[in-house]
């Protein structure tokens, strides 16, 4: 339980959600201090035509919010860690034929990792963000539960699955019970200077650009690694300039004229090959996942039924999960699912509760 004594760090992004979250906590009588993360330096690659993640304007907006609320403001430079961990893994994953989710990694390693650790080390009792998710007390004093946000169109629990009990005990999500419309109304009512600010819908450091352009700019000449595009039978249909330009399920931009729409089925970096086929070939009966984490600290059983979400906008599908050792699991869906993508997260739900999840290694085709 938080109290009015020690401060709560409110992580401000410069947007309306984090600003409203901070304002709500102040109205609850808590002592709130604002913090802004400096994450990405556009000087690391040639991207002068586009703004960066956590841009100077975002910082100015965060400062304006803190001034309006009358709370202290600090910025924390986490650029080195962000580049080495989040950006590094992002680029490396595409080069290895995987499709990463940098938002989950940023939450896991940066926001609820380094930033939360810094907050606690400097005397904060908790950290608040503008995420749409909820935390519930466990039954009879058991483990805290991570739940979907009440607004299904804004629920962000998928991006938070790696969080464990130590983090949940020190995290506040004031917007979890609210809809985006109500948040906007409150921001306007309270005169927050970012009440009308447009919402970002993309990976932050891409800043309006494509991931292909980012990887190409980041890697330079090393990104050029041509190869072949083949069908499921191994027949060559075309060529490509690098496997990093493709992701499983992709339909547009293949550069292969065909009598019917083709989709990327596999990305094979070791052979520098892209395998394509018709939509029906994108379906898989299950998947293998690695680096499993469990919100409660341990899985519910060695085998169990649940709903599995394989990307952010995917409707969680009923499945059976079997544990494979300590950190891997196999998912068998009751109905085959399309475009199961290596590198994405497989998040396990029991109703609205997040049980845990892992990182997709490969889809399982029909035997």
Cα separation, 337 vs 282, whole angstroms: 8
Under 8 Å between Cβ of 7 and 46: no
Task: Name the region of 339 (left: φ>0; alpha: ψ -120 to 50; beta: rest).
Answer: left
Question: Which residues neighbour 176 within 8 Å (Cβ) at sequence distance 6 or greater?
Answer: 131, 132, 133, 134, 135, 147, 149, 150
Q: Which of 53, 54, 103, 106 is catalytic?
A: 106
113 phi and psi, to 5 degrees? -110, -90
Cα distances (angstroms) measured from residue 264 to each of 51, 92, 103, 249, 339:
31, 19, 23, 5, 9
Cα separation, 319 vs 285, whole angstroms: 10
Cα distances (angstroms) measured from residue 127 to each of 11, 76, 145:
7, 14, 17
Count CB-CB contacts under 10 A for residue 123. Answer: 10
Cα separation, 284 vs 261, whole angstroms: 19
Under 8 Å between Cβ of 346 and 310: yes
Cα–chain center distance at 50: 22
Nearest partner of 241 among 277, 213, 266, 261, judged by Cα? 213
Under 8 Å between Cβ of 68 and 43: no
Q: Does residue 106 carry a catalytic annotation? A: yes
Nearest partner of 187 among 13, 8, 22, judged by Cα? 22
Q: Which of 53, 54, 103, 204 is catalytic?
A: 204
How many DSSP H helices and E strands does the chain contain?
Answer: 9, 17
Under 8 Å between Cβ of 295 and 309: no
Q: Does residue 42 carry a catalytic annotation? A: no
Count CB-CB contacts under 10 A for residue 289. Answer: 27
Active-site residues, by number, are 106, 204
């Amino acid at each position: 339980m938080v109290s009015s004594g020690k401060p709560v760090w409110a992580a401000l992004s410069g947007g309306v959600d984090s600003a409203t979250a901070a304002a709500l906590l102040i109205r609850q009588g808590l002592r709130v201090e604002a913090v802004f993360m400096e994450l990405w330096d556009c000087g690391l690659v040639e991207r002068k035509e586009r703004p960066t993640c956590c841009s100077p304007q975002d910082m100015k907006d965060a400062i304006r919010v803190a001034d309006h609320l009358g709370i202290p403001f600090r910025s924390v430079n986490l650029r080195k860690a962000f580049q080495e961990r989040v950006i590094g893994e992002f680029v490396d994953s595409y080069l290895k034929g995987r499709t990463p989710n940098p938002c989950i990694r940023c939450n896991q390693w940066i926001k609820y990792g380094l930033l939360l650790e810094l907050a606690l080390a400097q005397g904060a009792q908790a950290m608040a963000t503008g995420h749409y998710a909820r935390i519930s007390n466990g039954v009879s004093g058991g483990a805290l539960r991570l739940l979907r946000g009440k607004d299904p169109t804004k629920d962000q629990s998928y991006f938070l699955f790696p969080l464990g009990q130590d983090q949940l005990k020190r995290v506040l999500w004031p917007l979890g019970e609210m809809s985006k419309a109500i948040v906007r109304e409150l921001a306007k009512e309270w005169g927050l200077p970012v009440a009308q600010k447009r919402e970002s819908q993309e990976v932050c450091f891409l800043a309006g650009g494509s991931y292909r352009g980012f990887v190409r700019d980041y890697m330079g000449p090393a990104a050029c690694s041509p190869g072949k595009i083949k069908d499921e039978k191994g027949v060559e249909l075309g060529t490509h300039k690098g496997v990093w330009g493709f992701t499983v399920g992709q339909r547009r931009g293949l550069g292969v004229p065909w009598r019917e729409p083709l989709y990327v089925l596999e990305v094979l970096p070791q052979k520098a090959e892209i395998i394509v086929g018709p939509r029906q070939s994108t379906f898989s009966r299950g998947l293998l996942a690695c680096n499993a984490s469990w919100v409660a600290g341990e899985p519910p059983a060695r085998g169990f039924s649940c709903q599995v979400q394989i990307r952010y906008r995917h409707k969680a599908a009923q499945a059976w999960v079997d544990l494979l050792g300590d950190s891997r699991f196999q998912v068998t869906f009751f109905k085959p699912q399309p475009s199961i993508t290596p590198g994405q997260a497989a998040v396990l739900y029991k109703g609205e509760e997040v049980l845990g999840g892992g990182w997709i290694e490969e889809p399982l085709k029909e035997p």
